[in-house]
Every structure is written in structure tokens, then in C-alpha cells.
Amino acid sequence: MANIIPPAADLQGIKNATVLDTTASTLKESLHKLSGGLALQLAKSAESQGRGEASLLALGERMSPDLQTLNQATLNANDGIAMTQVAEAGLSDIHADIQQLKKLVVASLNGALSPEDRAALQTEVRRIQLSIEQKVQTTRYNGTPLLAVAKTIMLQAGMQAENQISIQLKDFSNVFTPLDLTGDSGSAAAGLSLQKDELVVESAQSYFVDKGSELADAVTSLDRWSLSLGTNGVGLQTKEAAQSAAARIAMQIRDHATMAFQVQANQSAARVQQLL
């Protein structure tokens, strides 16, 4: 399940996560029916026309495994889309925290502050940095850490071995430098560190957005390929059935990815406002 796990997850986020599970299950069932049902549709068409029964059934039996492979590749790519959305959402939260830290650094560059004032600023800095550390550790998809481990995830997004799309994950556990605003020199250094941290986060955000677009293009190509395979050489009735099924599956794919994003968005109203 795709979720950014807060200390106390809200009820709506839990409900949405449950709906996401149901949506994924329904999607897989529909894909199976489309690929498995094509041979049945071909058989009915052959029987009603009274000719070509053997050849149509043979075609259906040959095409069904290909359709199943294409549909599984579509599910793989769709999982990748949801994964990139979850990772980007976690980074968006971290980026917002960095903006708050930058405000605190500016506030600390005030020579009129008392030691007590600086201590209060430092306490707030530590609270925000702990929040960032928590987001790094708890941003996950299907249990896989997306920001706390360096690894490559390969997704088979086509029938051929070369139709793989990789997602490079980076470990952000030790990326962000602790800040010290108790003195002028520490405040100046903190400002430079935050500039570096902000660039790192923005670069990672852009990467996941680009990967999501690449995977979305793959889904579009797979949909077209599947529809073409399902309608090649069969009657009008079968074509219309395949087109209708493909349209339903495309809608479910969009709902699946959207729900994964909504599970994250429900955790932070501020993030929703930024994304809108």
C-alpha cells in the first residue's frame, strides 16, 4: 500500500488506502477478464457466423497470453506511476519544511535577539528537522522506502526484455545538515546549508515527475498495443467489446494512480494548496 505514514494517520487517509487496495484488486480482475474473455468472444463470433470457428479460436488462444502480458506490463507501469507520485509528495513536504527553516534562519540574523530568543529558534529548528527525518523514513510504497534507501527499481513495461523502465532511489537519511542558530556564525552557515538542501530536493522532485511522465507514456502505448491486438482480424462486435473493455480499464488505471496520490494529499492540506 502506498502511504506516507504520519505518527497518527487520520481516518480519511486509512479509508482512502483501503479504497486503493480495492481499486487495484478490481483493476487486476478486469484485466484478467479482458484477456481471458477474448477467446470466448471470438468463439461466439465464429459460432454465430457459422464459419472460421477453428481459426478464430486458434487466434484467440494465441492472442490471450499476449494480452495478459500486455495487461501485466500496464499494471507494472501503473505501479511505477503511483510510486513516483508518493515519492514526489514526500519530497514536497520536505521542501515545505526547508522553507520554514529558511525563515527561521533569517529571523536568527537579528542582532537584537536575546540568548533566550535564539534558544527558542533553535528548538523550533530541531523540531522541523526531526519532522524531515521522519518523512524520509516513512515515505513508502508497498512497504518499500522511497527516500531512505539507495537502490534501482526495474519495471517491465512491455513484452520485450528491453522494455524496462528503471527508477533510481536515493538515500536522504544523511543528506540534510543539522543547523545551529545559537550564534551568528551558525546562522550564516545554516543559510548556505539550506540552499544546498533545497537544490537537492528540487532535483529529486523533478526526477520523479519526469519518471512519472515516462511511465504514463508507456501506459498509453501499452493501451494502444493491447487494443490493436484485441481487435486485429475479428468482427465488429468483438472490436466494440474490446474497445469498451479497454476504456473501462483505462479509467480504472487513472483512478488507481489518482487514489495513490490522494492518500498522500489527505495527510497535508498545505501540500494540496501548493500542488493546486
Q: Mind listing the pLDDT tens digit for each residue in 61-120?
A: 444 666 778 788 888 899 999 999 999 999 999 999 999 999 999 999 998 999 999 999
Residue range(s) defining the domain that contains residue 219? 2-275
Q: Strands of the chain (E only): list them.
A: 2-4, 139-141, 144-145, 148-156, 164-171
**Per residue in 206-242, pLDDT tens?**
999 999 999 999 988 887 877 766 555 444 345 555 5
Most distant CA pair in the chain: distance in Å?
94
Q: Angle at the Cα of 163 (from 158 to 169), degrees rounded to 5?
A: 110
The CATH number for 263's domain is: 1.20.1330.10
| 185 confidence band (pLDDT: 50, 70, 90) | confident
**Backbone angles phi and psi of 155, in degrees to 5:** -120, 125
Q: What's the alpha-carbon Rg for the chain, to the nearest Å?
A: 25
* Global confidence as pTM: 0.65
Residues contacting residue 101 through CB under 8 Å, at least 6 positions apart: 125, 128, 129, 179, 190, 194
Residue 99 cell numbers, joined: 522553507
Give the mean pLDDT of 26-45. Answer: 48
- In the chain, the number of structural domains is 1
Residue positions counted in the chain: 276
Pairing, β 139-141 against β 2-4: antiparallel
